[in-house]
Amino acid sequence: MLPFAPAAERNKDAIRDVLGPHLAERRRLLEIGSGTGQHAVHMTGALPHLLWQCSDLADAVPGIAARLDAEGNDRTPPPLALDVAAPPWPVPEAGAPDAFDAIFTANTLHIMSFAHVEQFFERIGEALARPGILAVYGPMKYGGDFTTQSNADFDAQLRARDPQSGIRDFEVLDDLAYGQGLTLAADNAMPANNRLLVWHRGAS
Ligand SMILES: C[S@@+](CC[C@H](N)C(=O)[O-])C[C@H]1O[C@@H](n2cnc3c(N)ncnc32)[C@H](O)[C@@H]1O
């Protein structure tokens, strides 16, 4: 049986509709923490010009590979084993001709420790082509506050399971992105109290 995430099934159309236009000029996307591969299949079905490279921790790779074997296409290459906290990432450097010009991650930054979130942004500085975009989907805090009580409850559940995890502050993520030369281009409200943040990296 293929791995399946109900949340990915619920959010995939909204992500396609909001993220799709930002990917019109992009050609090679790296996804961090692909989970089940559902987003890769859905997005490459909608965006026929885009290569979508899945990646995740090694334990998740066989399940993603099974989904891509069953439902993928010639723009969903085999998933990479990639731990954001284990440099160097097994991807081309930013200046390479085949560097990724888009990086996407959904519902991962509140699962990782904050130290890993910092490493995520540092590695993106090394890997994201110019021009390029970074897109991050998930729940966020603003001004230190949760946007809803349900997000506050979710954060408490996350921290009870793993004290290092938790919903991140938009402003902190934006600072980390800025530190890698990325400028916020869009902050979209998404279903179920999530956000889709998009940063741009200029051509040089
Ligand atoms: C809640 S799941 C989200 C999966 C998928 N993106 C989705 O939206 O359905 C979180 C994912 O983050 C991945 N993850 C956690 N820590 C990671 C790390 N250090 N490096 C890469 N991926 C990580 C997990 O393996 C898992 O696939």
73-83 pLDDT tens trace: 999 999 999 99
Tokens of 134: 């970074």
Regarding the beta carbon of 43 and ligand 1, being less than 6 Å apart is answered no
Q: Could you tell me the sign of the dihedral formed by the alpha carbons of 77, 98, 46, 112, in that order?
A: positive
What is the percent of the chain with per-residue pLDDT over 90, rounded to a whole number?
100
Q: Whose CA is nearest to atom 23 of ligand 1?
A: 33
Which amino acid is located at 11 in the chain?
N
Q: Tell the residue nearest (CA) to atom 16 of ligand 1.
A: 112
Token duo for residue 88: 């160097």
Domains in the chain and their CATH numbers? 6-201 (3.40.50.150)
84 Cβ inside 6 Å of ligand 1: yes
Confidence class of residue 3 from pLDDT cuts 50, 70 and 90? very high
109 — pLDDT class (breaks 50, 70, 90): very high
For residue range 32-62, list pLDDT tens digits in order: 999 999 999 999 999 999 999 999 999 999 9
Rounded-to-integer distance, Cα 161 and Cα 113, Å = 12
> How would you class 67 by CB atoms within 10 Å of its CB: exposed for 0-12, middle for 13-18, buried for 19 or more?
buried
Q: Is the pLDDT of residue 204 over 80?
A: no
Distance 110 CA to ligand 1 centre (A): 9
User: Quick one: average pLDDT of 146-171?
Assistant: 98
Which pLDDT score, from 0 to 100, does residue 172 have? 98
Q: Residue 158 in contact with residue 139, Cβ under 8 Å? A: no
| Chain mean pLDDT for the chain | 98
Task: Write out pLDDT tens, residues 162-177.
Answer: 999 999 999 999 999 9
